[in-house]
Structure 1
C-alpha cells in the first residue's frame, strides 16, 4: 500500500469511530476485507488511527476540516507531511483537496500545547482531581506509550534477558527505579515472536504496573488472591517476585482469565485459577485491581477517553466501592488488602479508599502511591490496607 492508501484506510476507520463503532472492531473488519494488506500496512493504518484518537481535538483544529478526513488531514499536518502528497487521489489515496478545504487549512487555528484533547466535561474532572498536574497529564496522553517488558526474575536476570533480546535485534534499556523492567527502544513489534518472550523470560507489562507489585510485601507460604485478575499480568508478577506464595486468581470474566493458564505455564509459575467466586476469609493478601476508567492507560486505549460519560464514571465509582468491600471480607485478621486502579483520578482512587475506611473500621491505611504518567510508565494508584487482628 502507498502512504496515501494507508491514510484512506485510516479515514474509513475514523469515520466509523465517529458514528460510535469500536476502533478495534473497525480495524479488524478492514483487515479482513483487505487481505492484500501486509503486516506493515496494517500496523501503519493502526498507528494513524490511534495517533488520531490520542489527538482528536487538536488534529481537527489543525485542519479545520470535519469528519475522519479532517482528522487524518490534521495528522498529516502534525507529522510535517504536505497534504497534497497524500490527498491527491492517486494510488487509492484520499480525493484531492477542494478549494473549501484549502481555505479551511489556511484559516485553521494552530493546535496549542495546552490543548487537553479530552471531552469538555473531562477537562473539568482532570482539573479538579489532578490540580497542577492536569495539563501535563492530558498532554502526556497525546503521546504513544512506551513498550515495557517485565523480566521474569524466577527464570533469569534483567541483564541476561536484555542480551537475549538484543540477539534478536530487540534493543532495550533499564527503567530507573523498577529493577524488573526493560523498555524497548527498537523493534518492539518483534517481541511477541521472540525466544525470550515465548520461553517465558519476559512478559509485556507496563513499568508502573511492575512498580505497584513491588510495593507488596510478599512472603513464602502466604495465601494470596488476585481478585479481578483479568489476564493475570499482576498475578504473574507476584509469582515471580515470591514463587513460594500460594497464589490464586479469580475474575468475574472466566474468558478473560482463561489465557492465564498458558501464560503461567510459560512463565513457570504456580497459580490456581478459581472458577467460583471466593467467599471465605482465607487469604493473607488480596489484591483488588478494580474496574476503572482506565485513564492512566489512555495512551494505549485512547478510545476510552472519548467513550466515557459522566454517568459511566459515577457508576464505576459505585462498582469500585462494592468490589473493595466484597474483597475485604476475604482477608484473614492481620492480613493485607490492596486496592489498585489504572486511573489518574482521585475520585476513583484515594476517595474510594477513604469511603471504604469510613465504613470498615477494622482496616487502616498503611501506604498509598499515585503513579503519574511516565513516572515511570502508565498512570496507576495503589493503596495498602491492613486488617486488624
Structure 2
C-alpha cells in the first residue's frame, strides 16, 4: 500500500470509531476485509489512527470537521506533512481537497481543541497544573515510551541489559525507579527475546514501577494486591523483596495469565477468587483502583475521547468501595497503599480525603503524585496507616 492509501484506510477506521466501534475492533475488522494489506501496512494504519485519537479535538479543528477525512487532514496539517501528497485522488488515495477544505481554520486557544483533553476534566487539570497545562497536553499528544522492569528475582539491571542486547534490543536506565529500563531500539522484538522468555524483564511503565516501590514491601511480608488486574504490580511487589503476594480481583478472568507470568518470573503469587478472602488481614494491602486511566491516555487515547462527567462519578463510587473493602484486610499497625493511574485529583486526593473523613482510625502519612511531565505515565499513590486502637 502507498502512504496515501494507508491514510485512506485510516479514514475508514476512524469513521467506524466515531460510529461507536472500539478502536482495536475497528482495526481488526478493517484487516479482515482487506486481506491484501501486509503487516507493515496494518501497523502504519494503526499508527495513523492512534495519532488521530491522541489529538482527537485538535485534528478536527485543524481539518474543519468531525469525520475521519477531516481528522486525517487535520493530522497532516498539525504535523506539517504536505496535504497534496495524501489527498491526491490517485489510485487508492483520498480524493483531492474541495475548495471548502482548502481553507485552513484558526487554531483554538481554549477548550478541548487547545489541549486535546475532555471538557469534563479541563477545569480540574487547570487547577492542578496551572501554567504547566500546555506542556502536559503536548506530552500527552505523543506516543508513550516503552519501559521494562528488571525482575530482581532473576537479574540485575546490568545482566538484563546484556541479555537484551544479544537480541538487538537497546535500552537505557529509565526514570523514577531503579528497576526501570527504557527501550530505545528493538521494541518489536521484546516478547520474542530470551530476556523476556526467561523472566529477566517485564513490560511495565516506569511510573507503575515507582508506585510499587512506594509501597515498600518488606522481606517475607505477605501482601494483598486487592485489585490485581493482569498482575503487573503483583509481580513487581513480589520481586522487590521476594514478598508473598496474594492477587485478588473482582473479575478473576483478568488474572488468567498471571500464574504463567509468575512462574516465568520465579515470583510467589497466589490467586484469590472474589469472596474467598474472609477475615484475612495482612501488613500491606495494595489497592490499584479502577480509574479513568488519565495518566496513561497516551497509551489508550480512546479512553480519553469517550470520558465524561458521568463516568467520573461512577469511578469515584467504585474507588470509595475499593478503599472501604480493602481497608478491612489491613492488619493492626499495617498499611493500605491506594493507587490509581490517574492525574485527576477527584480520583486521588479526593477519594483519600473522603475515606479518611468516613472511616476512623486511619491517616495518610505520605503520597506520591506523578504525571507524564515526570517522564512516564501519570500515577498517584497514598500511604494510609491503620493504628491499633488498643
**TM-score over 0.5 for the alignment?**
yes
Q: Aligned runs of 1:90-109 on 2, under 5 Å?
A: 90-102=90-102, 104-105=103-104, 108-109=105-106
What is the RMSD of the two structures over their aligned residues, measured on CA atoms? Answer: 1.7
* SS at 1:87 equivalent: coil
1:250 aligns with 2:254: no
Measured in 2, the distance between the counterparts of 1:7 and 1:194 equals 32
Tell me how far 1:333 sits from its aligned partner: 0.7
C-alpha offsets along residues 72-98 of structure 1, whole Å, 9 cap, x if unaligned? 112222333211111122232212222
* SS at 2:114 equivalent: coil
Q: Give 1:261's aligned residue.
A: 259
Tell me how far 1:34 sits from its aligned partner: 2.1
Q: Give 1:194's aligned residue.
A: 193
* SS at 2:374 equivalent: coil
C-alpha offsets along residues 272-304 of structure 1, whole Å, 9 cap, x if unaligned? 011233232421111000011111000001111
> Is the 8 Å Cα contact of residues 3 and 86 (structure 1) preserved in structure 2?
yes
1:36 aligns with 2:33: no
Shifted more, 142-151 versus 24-33: the winner is: 24-33
* SS at 1:179 equivalent: coil
Tell me how far 1:112 sits from its aligned partner: 6.2
Q: Aligned runs of 1:263-302 on 2, under 5 Å?
A: 263-277=261-275, 278-302=277-301
> Is the 8 Å Cα contact of residues 365 and 384 (structure 1) preserved in structure 2?
yes
C-alpha offsets along residues 318-377 of structure 1, whole Å, 9 cap, x if unaligned? 110111000000111111101000000111001111111112221121210101214141
Q: Aligned runs of 1:344-355 on 2, under 5 Å?
A: 344-355=343-354
Measured in 2, the distance between the counterparts of 1:118 and 1:20 equals 19
Measured in 2, the distance between the counterparts of 1:241 and 1:267 equals 12
Tell me how far 1:253 sits from its aligned partner: 1.2
Tell me how far 1:179 sits from its aligned partner: 1.0
Segments of 5+ residues of structure 2 without an aligned counterpart are: none
Shifted more, 5-14 versus 73-82: the winner is: 73-82
Residues 135 and 82 of structure 1, relative CA distance in 2, 3 Å threshold: closer
> Is the 8 Å Cα contact of residues 215 and 286 (structure 2) preserved in structure 1?
no
The number of residues matched between the two structures is 385
1:67 aligns with 2:67: yes
Q: Give 1:135's aligned residue.
A: 134
Q: Aligned runs of 1:9-20 on 2, under 5 Å?
A: 9-20=9-20
> Is the 8 Å Cα contact of residues 250 and 273 (structure 1) preserved in structure 2?
yes
Measured in 2, the distance between the counterparts of 1:330 and 1:384 equals 15
Q: Give 1:83's aligned residue.
A: 83
* SS at 1:366 equivalent: strand
Tell me how far 1:122 sits from its aligned partner: 2.4
C-alpha offsets along residues 99-119 of structure 1, whole Å, 9 cap, x if unaligned? 2222x33xx214669921123
C-alpha offsets along residues 136-182 of structure 1, whole Å, 9 cap, x if unaligned? 32222111110011011111111121122122221111024421001
Residues 66 and 331 of structure 1, relative CA distance in 2, 3 Å threshold: closer
> Is the 8 Å Cα contact of residues 175 and 376 (structure 2) preserved in structure 1?
no
Q: Aligned runs of 1:140-289 on 2, under 5 Å?
A: 140-243=139-242, 245-277=243-275, 278-289=277-288
Measured in 1, the distance between the counterparts of 2:200 and 2:156 equals 9
* SS at 2:123 equivalent: helix
Shifted more, 200-209 versus 11-20: the winner is: 11-20
Segments of 5+ residues of structure 1 without an aligned counterpart are: none
Measured in 2, the distance between the counterparts of 1:36 and 1:275 equals 44
Measured in 2, the distance between the counterparts of 1:149 and 1:188 equals 10
Shifted more, 348-357 versus 118-127: the winner is: 118-127
C-alpha offsets along residues 234-291 of structure 1, whole Å, 9 cap, x if unaligned? 0010111011x22110111111111111111111112101123323242111100001
> Is the 8 Å Cα contact of residues 295 and 342 (structure 1) preserved in structure 2?
yes
> Is the 8 Å Cα contact of residues 226 and 286 (structure 2) preserved in structure 1?
yes
Tell me how far 1:121 sits from its aligned partner: 2.9
Tell me how far 1:196 sits from its aligned partner: 1.1
Measured in 1, the distance between the counterparts of 2:310 and 2:66 equals 28
TM-score (norm 2): 0.94
